[in-house]
Amino acid sequence: MNLKTLGFSSLDFMKLSSLYYHLPHLRAHENNIYPNIIFGKNRTGVSVVMGVPTIKREKESYLIRTLTSLFFQMSRLEEEDCLVIVFVAEVDEAYVNGLAKMVKEKFPQKVNSGVLEMISPPAFFYPSFLDIKLMFGDSEKRVRWRTKQNLDYSFLMLYAQDKGKFYLQLEDDIIAKPRYFTAVRDFALKQTSDWLVLEFSKLGFIGKLFRTKDLPLIVQFLIMFYKDKPIDWLLDHLFYVKICHPEKDSLDCAKQKQKLRIQHQPSLFQHMGKYSSLPGKIQNLQDADFEKHKLYPLHSNPPASLHTSLKVHETYSLENAYLRKGFFWAISPKAGDYMLIQFSNPLNIKEYVFASGNVQHPGDKLFNTIVEILPENETDFLSNLLRNGSKFDYEATNNGFFKIGTFENGVAQGIINPAVGKIKAFRLTVLSDSPVWAIVGEIFIKHQIPVASSKAMSSRS
């Protein structure tokens, strides 16, 4: 594969020439440190590049589950502004090619579109690790593991630096929250201070976002001390060097660091792997902040009666989701199945969100399902359709309902045109049989609360 012809460049170590001092074994390969491109379309210019390093694990691999979660929680439009790079930090060709085959079989569309790339390092990239110095009472095996990990992260960051605006560091054993991509991108774009890292998880090095222009600085710092400490410790030392006053106390230093590392709430990524990539280690770490917060604001849906033709699993009723007491879980939807929300009184609705699937069951989504409304006055509604033309083009379905939206990647959301008038009901209708069960975990109906008249106000005073 001619990488130059394909547009892939070598890792530009020349911009960081001091790295050859810390990695002297690479001097024999100057200007020729190309990654092995297992597959990829050389996508560039995206908002967020996600790095997913992975290695061969002794017991169980979580990579497919991780990629499934990342892609299930993204819309097609979000995918167009994203690049996911899987970095296989191994030099065993048979293993790398076997993993690549599995990923391509599971995600053919993602590979063909170019949103998913897979790379591995050249065989000469890693040093011998024979001169590793044992630190902090750690075993030789653990010190080698974390030392190699620092090199893995550095390689991946250097490869990603020219691909987009932001770089998001992930792991190969995580799950993501719905709509995480837009939450990450929007949070980064609205920052006004001179930050160095945005944190979307409280655990280790998961969910850490950097500007790609800052990656050379970070890599240089990592390589200087790659034998000495784990990467999250080294990052904390970098904050100290950049912002802490040496004559002030640790409390002031901690306060100053918060200017460079900004925490997003809720956490958008959760660690799920039981078996660590360090052989023999059991990893039960969980981010408690992951489940505490909803991405949607706290709200109360308007009073309504609820009906469904779907077969409910155990006690996971539609009321659970509507009243925000849990979620609705139904056995494989069939064509014609519906969920009906009839309001106690017709309402002016501002916007709506219906989100299916959840972090434990990301595949249990509604597919080929439409959102319909029942207007209070069909005559006025139709006259508004004619008056507004294509700007207000809703398709009539049956029983007086009109289609206003569809589920895309498990989510349906939209803003209601005020010209619609008051709405008597929402209906979600399934158009084709589904091979999977369906979870509805979020129902958000924002309505306009009528302003009480002055007479009514005075009668209550």
Helix H, strand E, coil C: the string for 132-167 is: CCCCCCCCHHHHHHHHHHHHHHHHHHHHHCCCEEEE
Residues of the chain with CATH 2.60.120.260: 304-447
Res 24: pLDDT: 75
Nearest to 152 by CA among 131, 171, 136, 179: 171
Distance CA 233, CA 450 (A): 54
CA distances 50 to 3, 157, 185, Å, are 21, 10, 12
Distance CA 116, CA 81 (A): 12
The pLDDT of residue 451 is above 60: no
Higher pLDDT, 411 or 13: 411
Q: Is the dihedral of CA 342, 343, 349, 353 positive or negative?
A: negative
Beta bridge partners of 82: 48
Q: For 3-271, which CATH class?
A: alpha beta
Task: Report pLDDT digits (tens) over 138-183.
Answer: 676 777 878 888 889 988 998 999 999 999 999 998 888 878 999 9
Q: Are 210 and 218 in contact (CB under 8 A)?
A: yes
Q: How far is CA 110 from the centre of its chain?
A: 15
Q: What is the DSSP letter of 323?
A: T
Q: Are 369 and 431 in contact (CB under 8 A)?
A: yes
Task: Report pLDDT digits (tens) over 358-412.
Answer: 766 777 889 999 999 999 988 888 887 777 765 667 889 999 999 999 998 788 8
Mean pLDDT computed over 63-80: 87
CA distances 259 to 75, 203, 220, 248, 335, Å, are 32, 19, 22, 16, 53
Nearest to 404 by CA among 370, 446, 445, 379: 370
Instruction: Write down the pTM of the prediction.
Output: 0.63
Q: For 304-447, which CATH class?
A: mainly beta
Nearest to 141 by CA among 150, 129, 152: 129
Give me the percent of the chain exceeding a pLDDT of 70: 84
Q: What is the DSSP letter of 253?
A: H
Distance CA 361, CA 369 (A): 19
Res 47: pLDDT: 96
Residues of the chain with CATH 3.90.550.10: 3-271
Distance CA 206, CA 227 (A): 21
Distance CA 262, CA 280 (A): 34
Q: Who contacts 419 (Cβ-Cβ below 8 Å, separation ≥6)?
A: 384, 387, 388, 392
Task: Report pLDDT digits (tens) over 206-249.
Answer: 999 999 999 988 988 888 887 778 888 888 888 888 888 887 88
The pLDDT of residue 57 is above 80: no
The pLDDT of residue 455 is above 70: no
Distance CA 7, CA 238 (A): 33
Average pLDDT for the chain:
83
Nearest to 115 by CA among 165, 43, 168: 43
What does the chain come to in residues? 461
